[in-house]
A and B are shown apart, each in its own frame.
Chain A
């Protein structure tokens, strides 16, 4: 069984390229003021496509302690 996960953004490392937001299958993300924002966290399905394609390692999933 997969544990609970949470999406984390490191704004300082984000360059605002928009790759994560463009390929998010659930439109969870948006780019505002050249930084990624988690617009709809409740829609996230934790597929990690954003983490896989972020060139700057600024967005990723972490395991949440139960």
Chain B
């Protein structure tokens, strides 16, 4: 018998999940379930479980839509944001949450990502960013750091990586944030804020893939990879008070950019209203 949270929000007949030992995806999926649970329980944010839709694409991370017991849809590779856009436009009251991986979101689905961000449609995109294609055997992805090894980069990756959070900001997203596996409490809080935000929100969550990325790059096991996150990923409140020297080699987690752009479905509703008025004349 699992915990009450897992029992309530996951399809337990599908568990235990099939991810590798120490994979960060399970922790991020737990963060998403906890964030939704806390929103449902909080009287200040009136909602129930049927207000949430989980949409995923293809890849290790995208299996999460099968485990999470909500209205959910597991779509085609790279197209989760496309499907989510349709769902949101059909019923703008829904909280549409996209669970995707670094490859699904920024390579195969890169165009969907930038245009959904540009439109500022109210989706919450949670990226399980493990720097590699895990499901297909460890090929380098758009977020594999330069020089790091992968099955398809045995001498080191020549490409320069995307910073997905900054990419979203550059494309016009009104909310862009970064989380990680180690700082679970902080990441849950960020995911909650992303869900509540009216506009396109993206949370780039640094996952860990000990099986492929970790092993190929001698990063150690899951514990070693999380120790790296503990030491090198710093919450924004602390990061701002650090000197340039202290910041060397470290990255910030938290909300990275926030803007009050008009939201797409609200703007679209105005068009519908205007056209209906014109039709009645």
Q: Which residues of A contact B (CB under 8 A)?
A: 8, 10, 12-13, 15-19, 22-23, 51-58, 60-62
CB distance from A34 to the nearest CB of B (A): 9
Secondary structure type dominating chain A contacts: mixed
How would residues 127 to 146 of chain B score, 1 for a CB under 8 Å from any chain A CB and 0 otherwise? Answer: 00000000000000000000
Which residue of A8, A10, A55 is within 8 Å of B23 (Cβ)? A55
* Cross-chain pairs A/B with CB under 8 angstroms, 14 sampled: A8-B3, A15-B22, A17-B222, A19-B223, A19-B226, A22-B226, A23-B223, A51-B3, A52-B185, A54-B27, A55-B26, A56-B26, A60-B2, A61-B3
Q: Which residues of A contact B248 (CB under 8 A)?
A: none
CB distance from B210 to the nearest CB of A (A): 8
- When A53-B181, A53-B184, A56-B16 are in contact, do A15 and B21 touch as well, CB less than 8 Å? yes
Structural contact, A12 and B16, CB atoms closer than 8 A = yes
Which residue of B2, B20, B230 is within 8 Å of A13 (Cβ)? B2
**What number of B residues sit within 8 Å (CB to CB) of A?**
30
- A/B pair count, beta carbons within 8 Å: 73
Which of A8, A53, A60 has most chain B Cβ within 10 Å? A53
User: Besides A19-B22, A52-B184, A57-B2, 19 other CB < 8 A contacts?
Assistant: A13-B2, A15-B16, A15-B21, A17-B21, A18-B22, A18-B221, A19-B222, A19-B223, A22-B223, A22-B226, A23-B223, A52-B27, A53-B184, A54-B30, A55-B26, A55-B30, A58-B16, A60-B6, A62-B3
- When A13-B16, A17-B21, A62-B3 are in contact, do A57 and B26 touch as well, CB less than 8 Å? yes
Which residue of A17, A52, A61 is within 8 Å of B22 (Cβ)? A17
CA distance A54 to B221 in the complex (A): 15
Q: Which residues of A contact B26 (CB under 8 A)?
A: 54-57
Nearest A-chain residue to B31, judged by Cβ: A52
How would residues 201 to 230 of chain B score, 1 for a CB under 8 Å from any chain A CB and 0 otherwise? Answer: 000000000100000000001110011001
